[in-house]
Structure 1
Amino acid sequence: MMKVVEFRGAGGPEILHLARRDRPRAKAGEVLVRVLAAGVNRPDIQQRRGLYPPPPGASDLPGLDVAGIIETIGEGVQNFHIGDPVCALVNGGGYAEYCAVSEKQCLAIPRGLTFEQAASLPEVFFTAWNNIFLIGRLSHGESLLVQGGTSGVGLAAIQMARHLRNATVFATAGNQLKLQTCVDVGCAGAFDYHGNWAEQVRSAIGEQGIDLILDGQAGAYTQKHLDLLASGGRVVLIASHLGAVGEINFRQMVRRHQTLCGSTLRPCSAEFKGRIARDLMNEVWPLLEDGRIETKMHAVIPFDEVAEAHRILDANVQIGKVVLSVMPDLSSSIPNEVQGD
């Protein structure tokens, strides 16, 4: 048996509760991870509220990224072994002491990071990579606007765009501390979304407009974004917190060769996620190891206080990631010590 976090219906953090379930088994091509730490993400909040059901075949438990030690391996696993420390993007089930995941979605933990730090990586870096590089096609020297720059995805996007594409990056955030954090990690400008952020971005970027906008708000923001875009510019939507519908000027989109698209990573295949995992290992993990890119941790919360972790995200006060310490006796250990290096 293992300890897990379940929902009692849909609603606020009070519906989260601890329960016991059978451990999952590693199927062919999967590994079973003994979870030492698990990331808390915005999709978990939406699932708790009844707004984001898991895709077919996924666990009904929340949790999209984990870090821990491989307990068992399924038939055909080639790249990992029992005892390996890993972090992984999972399709659900991360709020548990054990989680089964395709080996394609696992990554070695960057040298020097704890399990808690490693658990903060997969969901945000997979999401940012998919949306700014694969879908958004950010090229060298282009400009990027990130709505919500101090979210986990926002901070990952800002840093990768700066270090891998030498992009000029702008962001929005909700208070002075968050705005300064955006500048500290590489933004050329950061603007309070409570004010006239669109005009401030327009003034900062000039007549050429923004090449790529990464947004989780949608609704009334969408036309504002199209107005800010350069000719040939792209808007990529990863959520719709300000509304599922909005009015936009299609003639403008056609005339200025603009692209508006959306994505969600969770239902994508293990093969697709594996492609992103390889890209991250090759291009981003070395930058994490030498400190040029960093993960920002807002709080580490004990597993049995998971409701407090959700309250932090509900209040939108976090800068970076909130992580659950699932097995605190090991979760702060350096992974290389587990490997015996």
Structure 2
Amino acid sequence: MRVIEIYRTAELTDLIVTDQALPSPAPHQVLIKVAAAGVNRPDLMQRKGLYPPPTGASPVLGLEVAGTIAELGSQVKHLNIGDSVCALLTGGGYAEYCLASACCCLPIPQGLSFIQASALPETFFTVWSNLFDLAKLQAGETLLVHGGTSGIGTTALQLGKAFGAQVIVTAGSDDKCQFCRELRADLAINYRQQDFVEAVMHQTDGKGVNVVLDIIGGDYLPRNLKCLAIDGRLQQIAIQNGGKSEINLASVLMKRLTIAGTTLRPRNDDFKAKIAQQLFAKVWPLLESGQIKPIIDSVFPLARAAQAHERMESSQHIGKIILEI
């Protein structure tokens, strides 16, 4: 089968197409014939040697796919060969075939294509577990989402609105802010032109937001804390601006703030299976009704994976970047 391999020398890191043997599923796994695979920032980090796969995971890039089941592990009873699924992976998605834990596979929502479905697992698992399981976002609360036009951002914006929250987003251009408003953002802040702390506090009449979902980190941390209301919760899920910052802990104490950080990839199958069940019950009906939708920026053939990474690194994209196999 064709796969994308990281080719690295002292002078060059590239993504190239190579051939590998077809993998065989363990008892709890399935083999998926991949139709499309999502591209995510952890893939870029792994390509650069900054985010090694967990122990036992495929070294091939790719954390989410959509396709058809080609082979079942001996213990898999709830799926069938030929089923159309999307799946969350620990690696291996940039390939014609990949292995997935059966409990991390979900049926493709009715009406969605393979390309659309491949955009779901990584962002929807991440956003659901952080906003609703951990931060306990409630209807009537206010949510601040950084990177509003990223895959995470467009997902968090839509889910927040669907479940009754007011949603404020930040984005890096007027066009991106307009796109967020079209997705029903209550406020979209161009962070290049406006101080997002001042804009948030003005929008909330000085009260602040209940939850912040942040992919930036670095110097955003103390600013996020200023944006939080009493009993506010910060969910840190990435650190694009770096992992170091300085904060005034007095504000954390006085406002009873909660700061939590999570990563999804190394979590075990039991944890991910619970998220999958919640998504199927509460979010899949919204996808099938069209109330929410995956936002697709661009689609590249598998052999152009390097160009797909360049598109993501440019930060010009809105929504998900997909590889079509």
TM class, shorter-chain normalised? over 0.9
Corresponding residue number in structure 2 for 1:83: 82
- Once residues 11 and 147 of structure 1 are traced to their aligned partners in structure 2, the CA distance between those partners, rounded to angstroms, is 35
Corresponding residue number in structure 1 for 2:186: 188
Q: 1:49 to 1:32 in 2, by over 3 A?
A: same
How do residues 113-124 of structure 1 correspond to structure 2 at under 5 angstroms? Answer: 113-124=112-123
Per mean C-alpha deviation after superposition, the further-off stretch among 100-109 and 175-184 is 175-184
How do residues 140-219 of structure 1 correspond to structure 2 at under 5 angstroms? Answer: 140-164=139-163, 166-195=164-193, 196-219=195-218
- The offset of 1:243, in angstroms, is 1.6
- The offset of 1:207, in angstroms, is 2.0
Alpha-carbon contact 1:299-1:322 (below 8 Å) kept: yes
DSSP-derived class of the 2:283 partner? helix
- Once residues 197 and 321 of structure 1 are traced to their aligned partners in structure 2, the CA distance between those partners, rounded to angstroms, is 24
Alpha-carbon contact 1:170-1:188 (below 8 Å) kept: yes
- Once residues 144 and 12 of structure 1 are traced to their aligned partners in structure 2, the CA distance between those partners, rounded to angstroms, is 44
* Structure 1 portions without partners, runs of 5+: 327-341
Q: Say how many residue pairs are matched.
A: 324
Alpha-carbon contact 2:201-2:207 (below 8 Å) kept: no
How do residues 1-341 of structure 1 correspond to structure 2 at under 5 angstroms? Answer: 2-9=1-8, 15-164=14-163, 166-195=164-193, 196-326=195-325
Provide, for residues 16-64 of structure 1, a one-character-per-residue CA deviation record: whole Å limited to 9, x for no partner: 1111111111111111000011000111111111111111111111100
Q: 1:264 to 1:13 in 2, by over 3 A?
A: farther
- Once residues 9 and 203 of structure 2 are traced to their aligned partners in structure 1, the CA distance between those partners, rounded to angstroms, is 43
- Structure 1 segments (4+ residues) deviating >6 Å: 10-13
- Once residues 42 and 132 of structure 2 are traced to their aligned partners in structure 1, the CA distance between those partners, rounded to angstroms, is 21
- Once residues 215 and 126 of structure 1 are traced to their aligned partners in structure 2, the CA distance between those partners, rounded to angstroms, is 16
Q: 1:273 to 1:237 in 2, by over 3 A?
A: same
Q: 1:13 to 1:116 in 2, by over 3 A?
A: farther
- The offset of 1:14, in angstroms, is 5.5
- The offset of 1:197, in angstroms, is 1.8
- Once residues 12 and 215 of structure 1 are traced to their aligned partners in structure 2, the CA distance between those partners, rounded to angstroms, is 34
Q: 1:261 to 1:321 in 2, by over 3 A?
A: same
- Once residues 187 and 105 of structure 1 are traced to their aligned partners in structure 2, the CA distance between those partners, rounded to angstroms, is 30
Specify the code of the residue in structure 1 equivalent to 2:165.
A
TM-score (norm: length of structure 1): 0.93
Specify the code of the residue in structure 2 equivalent to 1:87.
C
Alpha-carbon contact 2:13-2:48 (below 8 Å) kept: no
| C-alpha RMSD over aligned residues | 1.3
Q: 1:113 to 1:280 in 2, by over 3 A?
A: same
Provide, for residues 77-126 of structure 1, a one-character-per-residue CA deviation record: whole Å limited to 9, x for no partner: 02100000000000100001111111100000001111111101110101
- Once residues 262 and 299 of structure 2 are traced to their aligned partners in structure 1, the CA distance between those partners, rounded to angstroms, is 29
DSSP-derived class of the 1:288 partner? helix
Specify the code of the residue in structure 1 equivalent to 2:301.
P
- Once residues 307 and 257 of structure 2 are traced to their aligned partners in structure 1, the CA distance between those partners, rounded to angstroms, is 42
Specify the code of the residue in structure 2 equivalent to 1:73.
L
Provide, for residues 247-266 of structure 1, a one-character-per-residue CA deviation record: whole Å limited to 9, x for no partner: 01111101110011110000
Alpha-carbon contact 2:235-2:259 (below 8 Å) kept: yes
Alpha-carbon contact 1:132-1:214 (below 8 Å) kept: yes
- Once residues 38 and 84 of structure 1 are traced to their aligned partners in structure 2, the CA distance between those partners, rounded to angstroms, is 17
